[in-house]
Amino acid sequence: MSMLNVGRPTRPDAAAPTAHQSLSGGRGLLQDEPLLFELGGWEKTGVDLPEPEFDAADLGDLVRAEPIGLAGLSEPEAVRHYVRLSQKNHAIDLALYPLGSCTMKHNPRLNERMARLPGFADLHPLQPTSTTQGALALMDRLAHWLKTLTGMPAVALSPKAGAHGELCGLLCIKAAHEAAGQGHRRRVLVPTSAHGTNPATAAFVGYSVTEIAQTADGRVDLADLEAKLGDDVAAIMVTNPNTCGLFERDVIEIARITHARGAYFYCDGANFNAIVGRVRPGDLGVDAMHINLHKTFSTPHGGGGPGAGPVVLSEALAAFAPAPWVVSGPDGLQLVEEAVDDAAQAFGRMSAFHGQMGMFVRAYAYMRSHGADGLRQVAEDAVLNANYIKARLSQEMTPAFPDGPCMHEALFDDTWLEGTGVTTLDFAKAMIDEGFHPMTMYFPLVVHGAMLIEPTETESKAELDRFCEALLQLAKAAKAGDADRFKGAPYLAPMRRLDETQAARKPKLTWKPESGTAQAAE
């Protein structure tokens, strides 16, 4: 008798009735876990610290007058707390993470090992450059690869993430216009399907934003673009491949007519993962483009960072790049940090120091691991996987743009849900019960009830099939009238359906003990 047939079944019986709620709040081996502050133990700690050698008399009124209010935990209590919390999170190490336009792909552990090498992990930004030659050399080689892969002559490494990179690119464009006596250009054109950070960044720089229409096949409307390209336009901001998962076929013409009117072409590089190694944005006429190292080059992504968004620049904008620059001199590699000589037109700084060193190391390790041919295969496999998902799910779901292949992500609308009583949100919540994180929902806004799926290149066919089978079965259930499965979902998650809107608008950022709690002695 095999192990699978000994004792009770190793997998839950799909036909079994829904289990009763547990008395402890746990679900099987998934433990219930309160907040750290609710665990008690205020007077204990898992670490013994010596009494301070000096008192705090010289701190004056800065001395803490009340206890700090941190819960004290022993080592096993602390470890268990965070392990239990980790079980409540979805993660790329658990299953496919299909967020569209986010490239949530596997981060090779080799990258982590390299980033933890003492020579990189123990750096301090104020060290003399004579002691950081290895780090500067890595930054210089990373910059070389980024310029080679994009066909651009310059790169600014210091921006911390995609939106920070957008800010860098637009500040370069603003500085270039002002240097040319074109400071009156105060308008930026943005497609309707753009990432929300594009118009937000333009507004932050002080530009007004004009929307460009989209054609029926999901691309920039050239006629509308040309009509809106006035002499007051500073730049256009176009994502390519765009947020509908499609390559802008007219991108060279977009660049030509933009330059003809004296404006610059900013490309949102969030989707560079789909074309890396195959297309050089510089060859398309792009003037500035941020590159999300935490997407295309596998450095960790999510949780608000740490990110890295280097910006590659055309020859027309290179002189305006922010400090610092890595340059080679007689005494080795140095950082140009003052606006003098070749950097006289630099618009300033993006941050206090030089960028995210750990992210640079991880990205460079990824590049060296893959090589030029491997990076090309990254794009090819990402596109192949997305088209496989589009083909399979089209059996039950409606692709937003059915004609022709997609690029790195497959976009579906909610036409197939009409008459079922099930919404995009309901469907996404039901995916959680199947063990999958939902895809990106209701974005881009130009597609009704949008479901945007990006599988990335790191998923195997077996995992893609597992994902597709789950979605196809859910789609059939919705069409069969099983709306109850969806309206209350998720049923099996540690937490039931949450009000994300309320949580975003009224977040609880601090914890306070409940007042008036009856004590046992009372």
DSSP state of 214: B
**Of the candidates 164, 407, 107, 196, which has an alpha carbon nearest to the alpha carbon of residue 290?**
164
Condensed to tens digits (0 to 9), the pLDDT of residues 276-323 reads: 999 999 999 999 999 999 899 998 876 555 789 999 999 999 999 999
Beta-bridge mates of residue 336:
325
Task: Let me know if domain 110-366 sits in CATH 3.40.640.10.
Answer: yes
Host H or E run for residue 210: strand 208-212
CA angle 421, 426, 431 (to 5 degrees): 130
pLDDT: is 365 or 36 the higher one?
Answer: 365
DSSP string, 280-336: -GGGGT-SEEE--TTTTT-----TT------EEE-TTTGGGPPBPEEEEETTEEEEE
Condensed to tens digits (0 to 9), the pLDDT of residues 183-214 reads: 999 999 999 989 889 999 999 999 999 999 99
> pTM here?
0.89
- Confidence class for position 27, pLDDT limits 50, 70, 90: confident
pLDDT of residue 23: 63
DSSP state of 116: T
User: In whole angstroms, how far apart are CA 230 and each of 35, 198, 223, 274?
Assistant: 56, 19, 13, 32
- Our CA dihedral for 60, 62, 65, 67, rounded to 10 degrees, sits at -140
Phi, psi of 112 (to 5 degrees): -65, -40
- Confidence class for position 397, pLDDT limits 50, 70, 90: very high
- Confidence class for position 11, pLDDT limits 50, 70, 90: very low
> Mean pLDDT across the chain, nearest whole number?
90
Average pLDDT estimate for 9-28: 57
pLDDT of residue 18: 53
pLDDT of 431 above 70:
yes
And the tokens for 208?
A: 């007004």
pLDDT: is 394 or 14 the higher one?
Answer: 394
Question: For the domain 372-492, what is the CATH superfamily, name and number?
Answer: Aspartate Aminotransferase, domain 1 (3.90.1150.10)
Strands across the sheet containing 264-268: 154-156, 311-313, 288-290, 264-268, 233-239, 187-191, 208-212
Per domain, the residue ranges of the chain are 110-366, 372-492
Please give the radius of gyration of the chain, using alpha carbons only, rounded to the nearest integer. Answer: 27
And the tokens for 361?
A: 């190391």
Average pLDDT estimate for 444-469: 96
pLDDT of residue 26: 75
Condensed to tens digits (0 to 9), the pLDDT of residues 53-108 reads: 888 888 888 888 887 777 888 888 889 999 999 888 888 889 999 999 889 999 99
